[in-house]
Structure 1
Amino acid sequence: MAKRSKRSRTLKQHGEDLHRQASPPEAPKRSPALTLREKTLRILRVAPRSSRLLILRDLATLTCLIAFLAWLSTWDNERQFVKTPPLVTLDSIFDGPVHRVGRDLVINGKNECCSVASTSIMLRKQTRYRVTVQASGDPELHLDFWGASGKYDDVEREVQLTAGPKTGSHRFTIDSGDAPEEPVSFRLFFLDKRPIRIENVLLEEVQFSVPQWTLLLIWAFAVALVLLFALRYRDRPVIWAAGVGLVVTAVYFAVPIPQTANVGDNFWYVPTSESLLRDHDLELSEYKNTFGVPPHDWRIKQTERGFYSVFPFGTSLIAAPLVFLGRNFTGDHDSEPDRSLFLAAFTGRLLAGLAAGIMYLVLLHLTGGRRLVGLLLSACFAFYTSQLSIHAGGLWSHNAASLLLCVALYLLVAAQGRLVAFVAPVLVLACVVRPDSTIWALAITAYIIWCHRTSFLAYCSLFALSSLIFFAYCYTTFGIPVPEYYRGGGMTGEHLWEALIGNLLSPNRGLFVFTPIALFSVYGMYLAFRKWQPLYTCLAVGAILHWISISMFRHWWAGYSYGPRFFALLTPLLIVLLVPVQDAFREMSRRARVIVLVLFCLTASWSLFVHIRGATSWETHLWNSNPNVDEHPERIWDWTDWQPLRGL
């Protein structure tokens, strides 16, 4: 009986299994349809009424800010240019070896240099003066200013115009800076042997200003918006990064960087950006009647295809969107040089502030999310290095390259390495901006091979594609795949040993003299090599190679600059290499911590003082020209004439 019941249960179970296999599977239970209100709340991921009100308030604030910025885009700035009546005219200045012929003055040409001196005039401090001279025959003309205290060596050739087939117009500018207010005369030098006719001479005081209240309102709205979102989304690193970038940029705009920071090698970056925006090319022939043409401007090269800047075009490419934004504050004016100087300073400050915000994100990842440490190191990056004295107002190639290096570091450390392949186009663009960025491209490539081999193929593919785009564009534009500047022709190495020491320890170009917190970065390199940390080790090797490469240049002191300008590209890496130091600091004894903290505060205080001097004092920039540092490079080693202390 028991066997029969057991057998019946087995058959019953077997039948149920067969029925289950034959019957179709049950359909999954569907959740009830959501109403539109529930879908909206799910998208917003909020349920309470108070949270929805906060969202609406944030959106309303953002809408007001966008409307305010749109209104500013129509702002009329025609009255922001102030020109005083001419201080000196043709009828009042000359009492030298000239004679009048109607409205003209004729100089009898001689074999030696012929000069004409003006009557005395008074120059005011912190003022820009412009001298415009029209002379027949398009002569080679030079100008200098003399006063009771000596010669003013900061006269810049601003422009050489062509007013007609036989008439040339020459413009010169002088920034008086902190020079004493005294009677000053200027002299014109003509190097031509044939008779020269001066048709007009004009000396005028030109003041260029921008709507400061407008900029102040922009930053006030932007900072308020960031604070609002920071309180609402306090755990979002991007909000904090935006706050860091805005605060740093506001400080940069408040710093009176001398506009002479943008009249050297970097003068043509803004005109090239405007050519890209207007004509979609790099050719600058439209400026030949505004800024001058070769041989009068050594920064321009004339080819069969037109006029081009001799310096890399990558900076102009990156600056183009910011130049477009800055044009809304200047409009179209006759004073193109002043307009370009403002746009260069405007763009340089925005690039430097953006780099500070991205650097905060990099440091936040490297420090394990320690927000206070990230903020402190970001402050060191923004105010204790060349970011303040050089990049906060100067649109240099290493300004844009530093920003790209910060972006590359962020892509390396963010998203658990899933964005490594996208580092390739950023590095290629950095090399286009500044050729010595190739060293950093090699160092970061070594790190990717070391730690991200699975992404290396995609990285190489994007790198090759980006490089091919660059080569193809150069070939179609210049006729050669690699322009001359990218070939490193100035790296002769004739002063290598002097440059290696001078770039670190010289009183007027030494990295450890101007930025002594870099000594802690050197200790970070030592820790990276000792603990064999992949990222820091590769960056340390890149820093050493960068130091050697800039020492190979014939003019290793970077010409007219403040401090070690060639090390400015190294700034993000110097701060990143402080991260191993702060990790080691946490493991030190209490006594060692006190010693290290005191040393760091001393070096940081000196770094801040030095770079504030470079950002606010005209005298520190005039140090390069009195006397000319390129003609007297021995001044780099002169401890009695220290560049940061000039003018004190």
Structure 2
Amino acid sequence: MKRLLGYAIFTVYCIFILVLSIRGIPGNPAEKTLNDPRWGEEGPFELSPERGRFALLVSLIENKSFHFSLPIARFAIPDLGYTQGNYVSLFAPGLSIISIPGYLIGKYYNNSQIGTYAVVSLFAVLNAILIRALAQRAGSTSIASSLAALVFLFATPAYAYAVSFYQHHLSTFLILISIYLLITLKGVLPLYLLWILFGIALITDYPNVILMLPILLFALKNLIYLVNDNGKTIVNVRILGFISLITILIPLFFLFWFNQNSYGNPMSLAGTVTAVKSIDKSGRPELPKVAGGQKTAVGFFKSRNMFNGINILLFSPDRGLFIYTPVVLFSLFGIWAAYKKNLYLYPLFTALISINILLYSMWGDPWGGWAFGSRYLIPGFAIASIFIAIALTRYHRNIIFFLIFFITLSYSLAINTLGALTSNRNPPLSEIKALEKLSGKAEKYTYERNLDLLLNGVSKSYLFQSYGSKFFSPVEYYRLIVFMLAAVCFFLIVADNLSIFKNYHMEKRGWQKLIIYKKQPTKYQLSHLVNLFFIKIMKPI
């Protein structure tokens, strides 16, 4: 009961902060009004990834068509495809399809855009819950696990993309829920679910196929296992496990059906069709004058981009982890502690983080276009947060460690709240010179750009624009949210440190220290230790 109460309080708090932050304006954007400035760059659909996915959603629901009408096509530019005389989406359809219920519910209340964005926020909250659960499975205390989940959701760029319309939280959810099912369910049952989730991940964002490979390899232990029979090693194979591969056909058939209706070929992927950057007054596409080679899904990744890509993702002032979310660096302490204690999930977690970084370092656009922070690393931030929970558990007696952690966390909270409440429209450094030439003024490309927006009275929070602006300035609203986040995190840190005395006496009485085990037994979980403390120690007193 106490455990459920803890999850309930944690969930309500996360939802509360996201409700305060979600971007939007009242109303139902219709086909004729989509191109109004209030919905575009000045409003919630400020960048083409949001517009492109929402355009597909509107076209499917309102026009019952996989092809875009001219107003919807203009709205989706510059991420717009053209094939067989039709304007089509350049994005995988997963997020648009899954967001249909949110759109319809929101439309009923004259807030279809908010309902659509709320679907992403819902997956963001589910990700925080899964991080908390996985961290506890890895041996972390409930307090450390909660704190680490808050780090992911509010102290990394995941915050800015939890209140806008991007695929990253859905992709992260599919990764986390796959891991959770594999370590909680026994036998071949999780494999049937895993292949369905893998297929959904594919239709959400094509690179997810690579990101989820470590999970598929980890799942092989449920298919193939070794048995020692009189000194001979026998390889056993679970036939039912291999039969589970059939379930991937469910999402694949949907993808083929979508591709056939959109592009005229079931094997064509969204990103491989001809891109249209502008439409003339007569409604005709202005296609590239020089035809390039045939585009392929793997052609976007090149190994020669790796070193520059790693620098951009980790160190650059416009996107770097060190600049936008340095609190994630505390995961290195958790990685070391997990390695020393031979954590069962250590190879899987480190492989997921490594592949996430390496994959997008080879991407042709590691900046993620105009973006806030390293949006491509959001799945990696989720896994790194589990290691943060491990570090907080391992070093729970080190006051200096927690002091430095809180200072770094406060900085990361302040930076990412700034992005969440203002805009993701930060240009990459590579485009600054051209942008300055067009604007005739110095252009900022770091979070300083967001700070300028805030100081100039810009906040895209739906709640602030609809109600809060009557009582607060944008700066005051920002400070209020940062204070609520920092105060709760500080409370959790203090609560975790106050448990030192209790844990110390438990160890003195012969109880084994709560730390990370290769296979975490239930009897070593914090809740069980606390029960033993009160039953076997306090009761005699």
1:284 aligns with 2:67: yes
Given the alignment, which residue of 369, 376, 379 partners 1:569? 379
CA–CA distance in 2 between the matches of 1:453 and 1:399?
A: 32
1:263 is aligned to 47
* Closer/same/farther in 2, CA of residues 462 and 310 from structure 1, 3 Å limit: same
1:643 match? 447
Distance of 1:413 and 1:516 partners within structure 2: 30
Aligned counterparts of 2:339 and 2:315: Cα–Cα separation in 1: 23
Counterpart of 1:438 in structure 2 is 209
Alpha-carbon distance in 2 for matches of 1:303, 1:426: 30
Distance 1:264 1:300 in 2: 9
For residue 346 of structure 1, report the CA deviation from its aligned partner.
Answer: 3.3
Give yes or no for contact 1:265–1:299 (8 Å, CA) kept in 2: yes
| Distance in 1 of aligned mates of 2:46 and 2:119 | 11
Cα distance between partner residues in 2 of 1:248 and 1:400: 17
Superposed displacement of residue 309, structure 1: 0.6
Give the counterpart of 1:473 among 253, 257, 282.
257
What's the counterpart of residue 401 of structure 1? 171
Paired amino acid for 2:158: Q
Pairing 1:303–2:83 present: yes
CA distance 1:358–1:243, shift in 2 (3 Å): farther
* Equivalent position amino acid for 2:409 in 1: A
- What secondary structure is seen at the aligned counterpart in 2 of 1:302? strand
Q: Distance in 1 between matches of 2:347 and 2:412?
A: 25
Code of the aligned partner of 1:485: G
Q: CA shift at 1:352, angstroms?
A: 2.0
Determine if the alignment matches structure 1 residue 388 to structure 2 residue 191. Answer: no
> Alignment partner of 1:245: what SS?
helix
1:104 corresponds to:
none
Contact preservation (8 Å) 2:175, 2:212: no
Q: Residue 92 of structure 2 aligns with which residue?
A: 312
Q: How far 1:614 moved relative to its partner?
A: 0.9
Aligned to 1:219: none
Query: Is 1:384–1:608's contact at 8 Å kept on the other side of the alignment?
Result: yes
Residues 352 and 380 in structure 2, CA contact (< 8 A), matched pair in contact too: no
The reply to whether residue 246 of structure 1 matches residue 27 of structure 2 is: no
Amino acid at match of 1:284: H
Other-structure match for 1:166: none
Which residue is 1:411 aligned to? 181
Structure-2 residue corresponding to 1:608: 413
Could you tell me whether the CA contact under 8 Å between 2:156 and 2:325 is conserved in 1? yes
CA distance 1:321–1:362, shift in 2 (3 Å): farther
User: What is the identity, as a one-letter code, of the residue corresponding to 2:146?
Assistant: L
C-alpha displacement of 1:622: 5.5
Long gaps (5+) in structure 2 = 25-42, 226-237, 273-296, 437-441, 456-541
**1:304 counterpart letter in structure 2:** Q
Equivalent residue number for residue 218 of structure 1: none
- Higher mean alpha-carbon deviation, 244-253 vs 530-539, is at 530-539
Distance 1:527 1:261 in 2: 43
Show the 5 A alignment for 1:225-240.
Answer: 234-235=1-2, 237=4, 240=6
Deviation, structure 1 residue 312:
0.8
Do 1:511 and 1:564's aligned partners in 2 also have CA atoms closer than 8 Å? yes
Structure 1 240/319 Cα, relative in aligned 2: closer, same or farther at 3 Å?
farther
C-alpha contact (below 8 Å) 2:313/2:320 kept by paired residues:
yes
Q: Which amino acid aligns with 2:160?
A: S
Q: CA deviation at 1:557?
A: 1.1
Quote how far apart the aligned CAs of 1:562 are. Answer: 0.8
- Among candidates 178, 186, 197, match of residue 426 of structure 1: 197
Q: Please, which of 497, 511, 520 is the counterpart of residue 321 of structure 2? A: 511
Q: Which residue of 1 aligns with 2:126?
A: 354
Please state which structure has a larger fraction of its residues in strand.
Answer: 1
Matched, 1:540 2:350: yes
RMSD: 3.5
Q: How does 1:549-560 map to 2 (within 5 A)?
A: 549-560=359-370
What does the per-residue CA deviation read over 1:332-357, in whole Å, with 9 as the maximum and x for residues that have no partner?
A: xxxxxxx64x4443333233233333
Q: 1:562 to 1:547 in 2, by over 3 A?
A: same
581 and 395 in structure 1: CA distance in 2 versus 1, 3 angstrom threshold: same
The separation in 2 between residues aligned to 1:498 and 1:265, in whole angstroms, is 24
- C-alpha distance in structure 2 between counterparts of 1:271 and 1:639, whole Å: 30
For residues 534-577 of structure 1, the C-alpha deviation after alignment (integer angstroms, 9 at most, x for no partner) is: 42212212211221111112221111111111112323212122
User: For the structure 1 residues 264 and 246, does the alpha-carbon distance in structure 2 shift closer, same or farther, using more than 3 Å as the test?
Assistant: farther
State the alpha-carbon separation in 2 of the partners of residues 381 and 511 from structure 1.
13
2:22·2:118 contact (CA, 8 Å) conserved in 1?
Answer: no
TM-score by length of 1: 0.53
Contact 2:153 2:159 in 1 (8 A): yes
> Which consecutive unaligned segments of at least 5 residues does structure 1 have?
1-233, 332-338
In structure 1, what is the Cα distance between the partners aligned to 2:367 and 2:128? 26
Task: State the secondary structure of the residue aligned to 2:72.
Answer: coil
Letter in 1 for 2:211: W
Paired amino acid for 2:326: P
* Aligned pairs for 1:479-490 within 5 A: 479-485=265-271, 487-490=297-300
Aligned match of 1:328 in 105, 108, 120? Answer: 108
Change (3 A) 1:482 1:417: farther
8 Å contact kept, 1:323–1:343: yes
- In structure 1, the residue matched to 2:537 is none
Number of aligned residue pairs: give it: 389
Report which structure shows greater RCO (CA 8 Å, sep ≥6).
2
Q: Deviations over 1:38-76 (max 9, x none)?
A: xxxxxxxxxxxxxxxxxxxxxxxxxxxxxxxxxxxxxxx
CA contact under 8 A between 1:245 and 1:353: conserved in structure 2?
yes
Bigger Rg, structure 1 or 2: 1
Spell out, residue by residue over 1:167-207, the C-alpha distance to the aligned partner (whole angstroms, 9 max, x if none): xxxxxxxxxxxxxxxxxxxxxxxxxxxxxxxxxxxxxxxxx
- Paired residues of 2:139 and 2:390 also in contact (CA < 8 A): no
Q: Classify the secondary structure of the residue corresponding to 1:308.
A: strand
Question: What letter is aligned with 2:53?
Answer: Y
Residues in 2 aligned to 1:535 and 1:472: alpha-carbon distance in whole angstroms? 35
Given residue 411 of structure 1, which amino acid in structure 2 is its aligned partner? L
Instruction: Give TM-score, length-normalised by structure 2.
Output: 0.63
Question: 2:300, 2:364 within 8 Å by CA — same for their partners in 1?
Answer: yes
Counterpart CA distance in 1 for 2:427 and 2:363 is 18
Question: Which has the larger share of helix?
Answer: 2
Cα separation, 2, equivalents of 1:532 and 1:466: 37
Deviates more, 1:558-567 or 1:370-379: 370-379
One-letter identity of the residue aligned with 1:512: F
- Distance apart, 1:383 and its partner CA: 1.3
Instruction: Call closer, same or farther: CA 1:326–1:639 in 2, change over 3 Å.
Output: closer
**For the residues of structure 2 that align with 1:639 and 1:417, how far apart are their CA atoms?**
57
Contact 2:301–2:363 (CA<8 Å) still a contact in 1?
Answer: yes
Q: 1:567 to 1:264 in 2, by over 3 A?
A: same
